[in-house]
């Protein structure tokens, strides 16, 4: 019997200078070729293709060596992309003497393990000792795949969907077993944990603990997310984990403020559900909301920010110089300052028959976990802004046909030009303007939707199992009624908007007007989509978060 050979792990080197590239590969093969596969590339794109191929083959990468100055994709950009595929791989940047500043910056961007100055002759002194240490550390690390959480439920159960969505948006790996889709493993798992399938969903944690119909808070606690604060008092409490909240947390933590971020569901907000964001500065090839959120969250944690998940803030008050927030479980957190970045949610479709089908064919937001399930079927999307356009492109890769339902007479009024052009080039995307959804039917799940032409009044009922809505923006501010000044739609007023004819807001006890992002309660600031008249873009939300932290410093200095 022949024992199958285990593939050697790879050491990958990329340099756009062919001579240097061959020299690096030669030195690597001389020392490590027996135990490692040496992969050579001459561009960042070529190297990234090689990394993806290694990933698909189920093999490992031990070390990545990338030249800093490469056209098209720099070494830092390549390492940043490659670390998403092989986070355990050791990362080395090859630099010239003039580029050492770049290497220092890369330590923060890609958690660089080392940088090497070119030329490194002799390799016995300047190359091999470094790689020996990195390979030793890589071999000693535990790289076994983490045991996955398993979720057992019904395909068209709204709570089963919510659990899967919660885990996915919090980057918790899980395996889904649908009891009604012929998944025999689902029945075996239920038998093993002593459940009869009457109460679903059932979640089995990586440690083997069984959770029956868990709440978000219970689920978060059992899968390793942080749900309890480590202290009672902070410099800064950030409420909300979308781009504005994450931006504020990163800047607060990086500038030495003891910061806690409190998120009621999952970091990322609406942006976190976007399948692809292509107009965010610094990502010319686009980035998914999930990737952007994950990187921002890791960045915040690197600066010692506490991130609390599944914690719903229900109250805010001033107690002397402290600002206190109250969670739904009665826990209180106090701080010198608070930044509100609670964002907005999509408005619920006000049409007969749809309310009861939420999570059972009717979804709000992209719900990218449902993409593969739409294969070969028609998908209806409601909305004309960027989020709807991004979702249409995502679902077009899975569905037979995507129908974008838009109330207006043109996408150009509410959607970025680049997205309008991309949608026009996709054959299986159909745009229906001057159209709205006025009804839906279904027993266990959505089976049909009724569309109405807004100008003629003509209605059409079409078969549909998938409806995703991206309409309007409802702020999460009901809990602030009577505490902060808001506009008629519930958005929080701040700065100059609080001053009327030179009069300061009622109850304002300072001898200065509110700072630009400061609310009607001194020391409480607002950032992102929840702020009145804000620009609903990811970049502006992050900018709000950064600006709010600078104003926090100003407030603290003068308090």
pLDDT 10s digits, 444-465: 999 999 999 999 999 999 999 9
Higher pLDDT, 447 or 71: 447
533 vs 501, more confident: 533
Average pLDDT over residues 508-518: 94
| Radius of gyration from C-alpha coordinates of the chain | 26
237-262 in b/e form (b: 16+ CB < 10 A) is bbbbbbbbbbbbbbbbbbeebbbbbb
pLDDT for 108? 54
* pLDDT score of 102 more than 90: no
Q: What is the pLDDT of residue 109?
A: 56
What pLDDT, on a 0 to 100 scale, did the predictor assign at position 3? Answer: 44
In CATH terms, the fold of domain 355-469 is FAD/NAD(P)-binding domain (3.50.50)
Q: How far apart, in whole angstroms, are the C-alpha atoms of residue 77 and residue 84?
A: 12
Residue ranges of domains in the chain: 10-140, 149-214, 233-343+474-558, 355-469
- Residue-level pLDDT at 106: 56
pLDDT at 2: 43
Q: Is 1's pLDDT higher than 70?
A: no
- As a CATH number, domain 233-343+474-558 is 3.50.50.60
Phi-psi region at 523: left, alpha or beta (left = phi > 0; alpha = psi -120 to 50): left
Question: Both tokens of residue 241?
Answer: 């984990």
Of 211, 216, 225, 207, nearest to 147 by C-alpha is 207
Q: Would you state the pLDDT for residue 289? A: 83
What is the fold of 10-140? Rossmann fold (3.40.50)
Percent of the chain exceeding pLDDT 70 equals 95
| pLDDT tens figures, 496-512 | 999 988 888 888 989 99
Least confident of 7-11, 192-196, 267-271, 367-371: 367-371
- Are the folds of 233-343+474-558 and 355-469 the same? yes
* Lowest mean pLDDT segment, chosen from 136-145, 441-450, 511-520: 136-145
Q: 25 pLDDT band (50/70/90 cuts)? A: very high
User: What's the pLDDT score for residue 488?
Assistant: 95
Cβ burial of 93 (10 Å; 0-12, 13-18, 19+) is: buried
* pLDDT per residue as tens digits for the range 41-52: 999 999 999 998
Across residues 105-124, what is the average pLDDT?
73
Written as one string, the DSSP assignment of 383-419 is: --SHHHHHHHHHHHTTSSEEEEE-SSS-STTTS-HHH
- The CA angle 109-112-115, to the nearest 5 degrees, is 125
| d(C-alpha 10, C-alpha 142), whole Å | 17
Tens of pLDDT, residue by residue over 315-331, are 999 999 999 999 999 99
Mean per-residue pLDDT of the chain: 90
Which of 70-74, 186-190, 257-261, 291-295: highest mean pLDDT?
Answer: 257-261
Please answer whether residues 434 and 453 qualify as being in contact, where contact means their C-beta atoms are separated by less than 8 angstroms.
yes
Give the model confidence (pLDDT) of 176-231 as tens digits.
Answer: 999 887 778 888 889 888 888 889 999 999 888 999 999 999 999 999 999 999 99
CATH 3.40.50.10470 fits 149-214, yes or no: no
140 or 249, which is more confident: 249
d(CA 309, CA 311): 5
Q: What band does 239 get if pLDDT is binned at 50, 70 and 90?
A: very high
- Of 126-140, 250-264, 519-533, which range is least confident? 126-140
Please identify which residue in the block is written with the tokens 């007007």: 513
**Does residue 517 or residue 155 have the better pLDDT?**
517
Average pLDDT over residues 418-431: 95
pLDDT attached to residue 141: 81
């Amino acid at each position: 019997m022949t024992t199958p050979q285990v593939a050697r792990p790879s050491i990958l080197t990329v340099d756009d200078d062919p001579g240097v590239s061959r020299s690096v590969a030669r030195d690597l093969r001389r020392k490590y070729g027996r135990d490692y596969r040496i992969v050579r590339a001459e561009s960042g794109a070529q190297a990234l293709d090689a990394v993806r191929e290694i990933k698909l083959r189920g093999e490992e990468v031990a070390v990545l060596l990338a030249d800093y100055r490469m056209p098209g994709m720099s070494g830092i950009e390549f390492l940043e992309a490659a670390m998403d595929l092989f986070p355990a791989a050791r990362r080395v940047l090859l630099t010239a003497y003039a580029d050492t500043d770049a290497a220092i910056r890369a330590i923060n961007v890609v958690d660089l393990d080392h940088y090497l100055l070119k030329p490194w002759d002799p390799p016995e002194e300047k190359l091999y000792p470094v790689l020996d240490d990195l390979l030793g550390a890589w071999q000693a690390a535990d790289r076994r795949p983490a045991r996955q959480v398993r979720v057992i439920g019904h395909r068209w159960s709204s709570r089963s969907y919510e659990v899967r969505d919660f885990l996915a948006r919090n980057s918790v790996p899980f395996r889904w077993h649908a009891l009604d889709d012929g998944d025999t493993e689902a029945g075996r798992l239920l038998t093993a944990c002593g459940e009869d399938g009457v109460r679903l969903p059932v979640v089995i944690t990586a440690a083997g603990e069984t959770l029956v119909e868990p709440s978000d808070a219970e689920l978060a606690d059992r899968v390793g997310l942080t749900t309890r604060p480590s202290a009672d008092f902070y410099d800064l409490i950030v409420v909300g984990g979308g781009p504005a909240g994450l931006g504020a947390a990163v800047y607060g933590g990086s500038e030495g403020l003891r910061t806690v971020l409190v998120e009621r569901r999952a970091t990322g907000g609406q942006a976190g559900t976007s399948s692809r964001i292509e107009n965010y500065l610094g990502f010319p090839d686009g980035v998914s909301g999930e990737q952007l959120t994950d990187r921002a969250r890791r960045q915040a944690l690197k600066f010692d920010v506490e991130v609390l998940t599944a914690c719903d803030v229900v109250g805010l008050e001033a107690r002397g110089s402290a600002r206190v927030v109250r969670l739904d479980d009665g826990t209180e957190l106090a701080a010198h300052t608070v930044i509100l970045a609670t964002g907005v949610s999509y408005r619920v479709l006000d049409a007969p028959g749809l309310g009861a089908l939420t999570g059972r064919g009717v979804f709000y937001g992209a719900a990218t976990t449902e993409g593969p399930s739409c294969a070969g079927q028609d998908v209806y999307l409601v909305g004309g802004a960027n989020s709807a356009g991004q979702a249409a492109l995502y679902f077009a890769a899975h569905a037979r046909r995507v129908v974008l339902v838009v109330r207006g007479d043109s996408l150009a009024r509410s959607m970025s030009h680049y997205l309008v052009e991309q949608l026009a080039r996709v054959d299986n995307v159909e745009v229906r303007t001057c159209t709205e959804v006025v009804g839906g039917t279904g027993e266990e799940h959505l089976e049909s939707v009724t569309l109405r032409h807004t100008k003629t009044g003509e209605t059409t009922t079409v078969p549909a199992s998938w409806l995703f809505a991206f309409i309007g923006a409802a702020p999460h501010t009901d809990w602030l009624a009577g505490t902060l000044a808001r506009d008629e739609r519930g958005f929080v007023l701040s700065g100059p908007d609080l001053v009327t004819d030179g009069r300061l807001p009622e109850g304002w006890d300072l001898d200065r007007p509110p700072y630009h992002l400061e609310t009607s309660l001194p020391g409480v600031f607002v950032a992102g989509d929840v702020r009145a008249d804000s620009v609903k873009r990811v970049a502006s939300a992050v900018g709000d978060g950064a600006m709010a932290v600078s104003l926090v410093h100003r407030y603290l200095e003068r308090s």
